[in-house]
Homo-oligomer: A and B are copies of this chain.
């Protein structure tokens, strides 16, 4: 254990460069490179950030991406990826990668799951075959995939069901200890995941227990799954007080621009979400004046780029009129340009957030940004928000 910790210490570090209120700017170092925080992490579920080649991700300034243990275990298989040299080599992304544990997908995607204290048995959503994940198995799969940051296997219950959260939290904590014991690769950092729903005592209990295991980073799990925004931000604020300040905090599954800003206001360092690329494929685009539906007829002859203040490839070269045509015609290029833009938007936002923190003007930045994004009656034509 001591040897592992020393080896980890050489490969991984988290340095807080600056705090501004509760907002934090730092640098997380991994064997495949450094991540400047606060960071948005694009999601590459099946070993590709949907529609975006790695070359473009680099140009957009992505420093770390996610991949998904559940999906890659089922297809093409974690052992195949290990034989192909691991995920970095397999997907030609030589920069940091984080894999989630598969827990969330087992509970949300698979069919006929059966949970017991030892693990979860589930049916593949691809071909109906039966599989079993235990904490040890989730770690072994993630070691095969070889990401820089890997996650504990956890249970993600409905956030407002206190009885279920009590049971699930006991399991999540036992599984965290087993993941910690099973994890052997010195070039990977294993993060704990705090659960506890919307209940302060459970969240604090979770933070205490996980901290006692001394993980190199802590995720806030079980949010953005149906609870109110007020509840979500309240839990994040509690976690800010409960988690150790010297370790990175990763908010799982959050990617709305306003949510990212409000999470950073409450001490979050990292967040991930499929939102930018999923919205893109459905025709919804982020702009500094709010979200717009690019399929809306009002953009049919709009010569402006998606967001006139964006400098991504899509916005430097293509009009809303053209992109709307591509979307209406079902062309892949439309999904590509929209995905590029929405991802660029969040990465650029987080760079601006970080600069504001370092310059000690984050609160003013956040207020102005949120006011503009959320303003109603904007003079710019707005589409019907896409509900996803």
Q: Which residues of A contact B (CB under 8 A)?
A: 46-48, 50-55, 75-76, 80, 83-84, 90-92, 300-301, 303, 313, 317-319, 321-322, 324-326, 328-329, 331-337
7 nearest CB pairs, A to B: A51-B332, A48-B333, A76-B325, A46-B329, A92-B317, A48-B331, A84-B321
User: Do A80 and B301 touch across chains, with their CB atoms under 8 A apart?
Assistant: yes
**Contacting residues, chain B, for A54 (C-beta < 8 A):** 317
**Contacting residues, chain B, for A322 (C-beta < 8 A):** 47, 84, 90-92
| Chain B residue nearest to A324 in the complex (CB) | B76
Q: Which of B51, B83, B313, B325 contacts A47 (CB 8 A)?
A: B325
Q: Known contacts A76-B300, A83-B301, A313-B55: does B321 contact A90 (CB below 8 Å)?
A: yes
Give the shortest distance, in Å, between A106 (CB) and chain B (any CB).
18
Interface centre among A300, A318, A332, A334, by most chain B C-beta atoms within 10 angstroms, is A332
Interface centre among A53, A80, A303, A318, by most chain B C-beta atoms within 10 angstroms, is A53
Q: Give A55 to B326 CA distance when docked, in angstroms.
A: 16
User: Do B333 and A50 touch across chains, with their CB atoms under 8 A apart?
Assistant: yes
Q: Which of B48, B75, B313, B326 contacts A48 (CB 8 A)?
A: B326
**Contacting residues, chain B, for A52 (C-beta < 8 A):** 333
**Contacting residues, chain B, for A324 (C-beta < 8 A):** 76
Q: Give A50 to B334 CA distance when docked, in angstroms.
A: 10
Q: Give A75 to B328 CA distance when docked, in angstroms.
A: 9
Give the shortest distance, in Å, between A29 (CB) and chain B (any CB).
25
Q: Give A324 to B329 CA distance when docked, in angstroms.
A: 27
**Contacting residues, chain B, for A318 (C-beta < 8 A):** 92
**Contacting residues, chain B, for A303 (C-beta < 8 A):** 84
Q: Give A83 to B92 CA distance when docked, in angstroms.
A: 42
**Contacting residues, chain B, for A319 (C-beta < 8 A):** 84, 90
User: Do B92 and A336 touch across chains, with their CB atoms under 8 A apart?
Assistant: no
| Chain B residue nearest to A328 in the complex (CB) | B75
**Contacting residues, chain B, for A83 (C-beta < 8 A):** 301
Q: Known contacts A83-B301, A303-B84: does B53 contact A333 (CB below 8 Å)?
A: yes
| Chain B residue nearest to A335 in the complex (CB) | B332
Interface centre among A50, A321, A337, by most chain B C-beta atoms within 10 angstroms, is A321
**Contacting residues, chain B, for A325 (C-beta < 8 A):** 46-47, 75-76, 90
| Chain B residue nearest to A322 in the complex (CB) | B90
Q: Known contacts A83-B301, A332-B335: does B53 contact A313 (CB below 8 Å)?
A: yes
Q: Give A317 to B56 CA distance when docked, in angstroms.
A: 13
Q: Give A324 to B48 CA distance when docked, in angstroms.
A: 13
Q: Give A46 to B322 CA distance when docked, in angstroms.
A: 11
Give the shortest distance, in Å, between A153 (CB) and chain B (any CB).
23
User: Do A53 and B336 touch across chains, with their CB atoms under 8 A apart?
Assistant: yes
Give the shortest distance, in Å, between A337 (CB) and chain B (any CB).
8
A-B residue pairs in contact (CB < 8 Å), sample of 6: A47-B325, A48-B326, A53-B336, A76-B324, A80-B321, A84-B301
Q: Known contacts A301-B83, A322-B90: does B76 contact A328 (CB below 8 Å)?
A: yes
Given A75-B328, A92-B317, output 11 extra A-B contacts at Cβ < 8 Å: A46-B331, A50-B332, A53-B313, A53-B333, A53-B336, A54-B317, A76-B328, A80-B321, A84-B301, A332-B332, A336-B336
Give the shortest distance, in Å, between A145 (CB) and chain B (any CB).
13
**Contacting residues, chain B, for A55 (C-beta < 8 A):** 313, 317
Q: Give A243 to B333 CA distance when docked, in angstroms.
A: 38
Q: Give A170 to B54 CA distance when docked, in angstroms.
A: 54
**Contacting residues, chain B, for A334 (C-beta < 8 A):** 48
